Amino acid sequence: MLWYTNTMGFVITNVYIFMLALVLAVLEIQIEGADGWAKKLPTWRPPESHWFAHWYQKLMSGKELTGYHVAMFDFVFLIFHFPYVWGLPLTLVSWLHTLSFYLMFIVVWDFLWFVLNPHHPISRFATTENPVHKKWFGPLPVDYYGSTVLSFLVLLPLWMQDTYSVAQWWVENMTLFIVQTLVVIWFSLKVLKIDTWVLKENK
């Protein structure tokens, strides 16, 4: 059993998750401002010599382990499991879809932070000025590829049941996320003109 039973439910679920990413991205912008990855927040930062901090940096392409991000990632993970608290049967099928959604969500959430952050014009996203991502492959951070591929791979146990439907579900969700992201980019640049806000403040 999935979070939806028809086409309308499919779209509503996807749009709802996108809106969650949008709101959390805006919230983080208000908290972090121009300094990404909690650079100037009074948050817990374990020494890099600790084994768990070391492995976290390896897994996250060199990003520092902070209490802020541990809390945020755990908070979102719990939100994604909220439907099960309200009675959605917890099955392998539903949970793997939930996990896949979570991995897609992380990429959308992170990218929207840049799209809506007036301190970091989207035109300079893939540059050395990026305050968060240091490892890149082509136009995108390595983390984006990793999370996107994982969102697909976690569904592999379901392929034996219906390969086409599983692949279709993933492709359609990714497509909807991309379309909504493009709409937000257009709205940010053409309507809000966020890329000009900091310039105006400095005049």
Per residue in 154-180, pLDDT tens? 999 998 777 778 999 999 999 999 999
Mean pLDDT score across all residues of the chain? 89
pLDDT at 3: 47
Q: Is residue 145 within 8 Å of residue 137, measured between CB atoms?
A: yes
* 19, pLDDT greater than 60: yes
Rounded to the nearest 10°, the torsion over CA 120, 124, 130, 134 is: 160
pLDDT at 195: 80
Confidence class for position 202, pLDDT limits 50, 70, 90: low
As a whole number of angstroms, the distance between CA 95 and CA 149 comes to 17
pLDDT at 49: 85
pLDDT at 101: 97
pTM above 0.75, yes or no: yes
> Per mean pLDDT, which range of 122-126, 127-131, 139-143, 199-203 is the poorest?
199-203
* 1, pLDDT greater than 50: no
pLDDT at 120: 85
8 or 15: which leads in pLDDT: 15
**Cα-flanking dihedrals φ and ψ of residue 42, to 5°?**
-80, 65
